[in-house]
Structure 1
Amino acid sequence: MFEGFDERTVAGDGADIFCRIGGDGPPLLALHGYPQTGAMWAQIAPRLAGRFTLIVPDLRGYGRSSAPSNDAGNDAYSKRQMGRDMAAVMNELGHDRFMIAGHDRGGRVGYRMALDLPERVAKLAVLDIVPVSDVWEHMGAKEALTTYHWAFLAQPHPMPERLIAADSVFYLDHTIASWTKAKSLAAFAPEALAEYRQSFSRPAYVEAACNDYRAGSTIDWRLDRDDRAAGRKIKAPTLALWGANGLPGKGVQPLAVWQSWCDHVEGHAIDAGHFIVEEAPEETLKALLKFFG
């Protein structure tokens, strides 16, 4: 994977962030989601690197980045703190202003950065998500069954960690397969799947992923509510892509949700489940190239 890319570990804001870096051109930060690593971008990274300087990090608590200890308020795994990591990384790499493409949790880091650091984010693409507050506040019985992991992973330590540790690879494989359109692991390249399994087999990183969701149920939700109450909106031009068979696509249309959060947003569904980059790489790549220009 990522042939020709450099690999570096860069100091974030309290975490060491592993990055793959390739290409030349305007800087594009590509952020992964749960329970994956930056390897999720491998199928389209070479072609993105043909147009952009592509930076593909592992978020704190995932992959080859470090997994700092959590705190009582879950600030350490808030999307604001993860965004501070990314801002520090881009500073170190010499990029003051840049574009972001984020899938799943990475999309939440991306939109939080666009709200917190609008001067840094030139364009934003959010892949198969709606904001944290919209998920929690519209979670009825149907949604609770399909997004049960939001409440499960957010339970106090160590309950979810202990249960996942009984067979962490089974949990990961079952989870990601269930979120694809085909309900299988066929969309995932063997090398990428091996990286996801390796990352998720380490107790500290299972705990970090749970901390990510604990932050989602507390500080991330509060930050969204604060922004909404203050009337703050995302200023950067935004692209919303979602899987027609993904979880957001089965509720209120994601584009309609993002219109209430963004000054300028466009987007459409992709014929896929949740993992649009891996399930529909050509269609997703085409949309990203058109948007980022």
Structure 2
Amino acid sequence: MFEGFEENTIPGEGADIFVRSAGSGPPLLLLHGYPQTGAMWAGIAPRLAERFSVVVPDLRGYGRSSAPPNTPDNLAYSKRTMGRDVAAVMTALGHPRFHVAGHDRGGRVAYRMALDMPERIDRLAVLDIVPVVEVWERMDAAAAMKVYHWLFFAQPAPIPETLIGGDPVLFLEHTIASWTKAKTLEGFDAAALDEYHRAFARPAYVAASCNDYRAGATIDWQLDREDRDAGRRIAAPTLVLWGAAGIPGEGHDPLDVWGPWCDRLEGHAIDAGHFIAEEAPEATLRSLLAFFRA
């Protein structure tokens, strides 16, 4: 994977961030989601690097980045802190302003950056998510069954960590397959899956991913409420992509949900489940190229 990309570890906001980078042109930051690593971008990052300076980190607590201890208020795994991590990476690489695309948890880091540091974000793409506060406040019994992991992972340590740790690879493969359109692992590159297995099998990283969701149920939700109540909006042009067979696509129209959050918004569904960059790489690539080259 990632032939021709350089690999480095760069200090973030209290975590060491593993990063792959390649290409030239406008800087483009690609952020992964749960339960993956930057390897989720392996199918399209090299082609994006033909036109952009592409930077692909592992978020704190994932992959080859460090997994610092959590804090009582969960701020250590908030999307604000994760955003500061990757902003520090971009500064270190000489990119004061940049485009950003994020999938799943990475999408939440990306839109938090657009709200917290608008002076740094040129264009924003979020893949198969709606804002944290919208998930919690729109949740009913049917939605809770689909996103049970939001509630399970957020339970106090060490219960979710212990249960997942009984067979973390089984849990990872079940979770990933269940969120695809085909309900299989067929769309995933074998090398990427191997990286996910190795990364997720470590107890400290299972705990870190739970801390990520504990932050989602507390500080991330709080920050979203504060921004919404203050009338803050995302100024950067925003692209919303979602899987036609994914969870956001099964509920309210994602563009209607995102509308009150964004000054300039566009987007559409892609024929896939949750993992659109891997299930439908060509369609995802076309959409990102058209948006970021505009």
TM > 0.5: yes
TM-score by length of 2: 0.99
Report the 3-state secondary structure (helix = DSSP H, G, I; strand = E; otherwise coil) of the residue aligned with 2:261.
coil
Q: 1:90 aligns to what?
A: 90
Per the TM alignment, residue 81 of structure 1 is displaced from its structure 2 partner at its CA by: 0.2
The count of aligned residue pairs is 293
TM-score by length of 1: 1.00
Moved >4 Å (runs of 4+):
none
Q: Does 1:168 align with 2:168?
A: yes
Q: Does 1:246 align with 2:241?
A: no
The residue identity in structure 1 corresponding to 2:215 is A
Q: Does 1:227 align with 2:260?
A: no
The residue identity in structure 1 corresponding to 2:238 is T
Q: 2:179 aligns to what?
A: 179
Report the 3-state secondary structure (helix = DSSP H, G, I; strand = E; otherwise coil) of the residue aligned with 1:119.
helix
Measured in 2, the distance between the counterparts of 1:61 and 1:134 equals 25
Q: 1:71 aligns to what?
A: 71
Measured in 1, the distance between the counterparts of 2:43 and 2:222 equals 35
Per the TM alignment, residue 166 of structure 1 is displaced from its structure 2 partner at its CA by: 0.5
Deviation string 1:96-120 (CA, Å, 9 cap, x unpaired) is 0000000000000000000000000
Q: 2:32 aligns to what?
A: 32
% of aligned pairs identical?
70
Report the 3-state secondary structure (helix = DSSP H, G, I; strand = E; otherwise coil) of the residue aligned with 1:17.
strand
Measured in 2, the distance between the counterparts of 1:47 and 1:259 equals 30
Equivalent residues in 2 for 1:189-228, closer than 5 Å:
189-228=189-228
Per the TM alignment, residue 128 of structure 1 is displaced from its structure 2 partner at its CA by: 0.2
Measured in 2, the distance between the counterparts of 1:171 and 1:254 equals 28
Q: Does 1:154 align with 2:169?
A: no
Structure 2's unaligned 5+ residue stretches are none
Deviation string 1:241-265 (CA, Å, 9 cap, x unpaired) is 0000000000111111111100001
Q: CA RMSD in A?
A: 0.3
Equivalent residues in 2 for 1:111-150, closer than 5 Å:
111-150=111-150
Measured in 2, the distance between the counterparts of 1:60 and 1:187 equals 26
Per the TM alignment, residue 192 of structure 1 is displaced from its structure 2 partner at its CA by: 0.1
The residue identity in structure 2 corresponding to 1:60 is R
Deviation string 1:203-261 (CA, Å, 9 cap, x unpaired) is 00000000000000000000000000000000000000000000000011111111110
Measured in 1, the distance between the counterparts of 2:150 and 2:95 equals 34
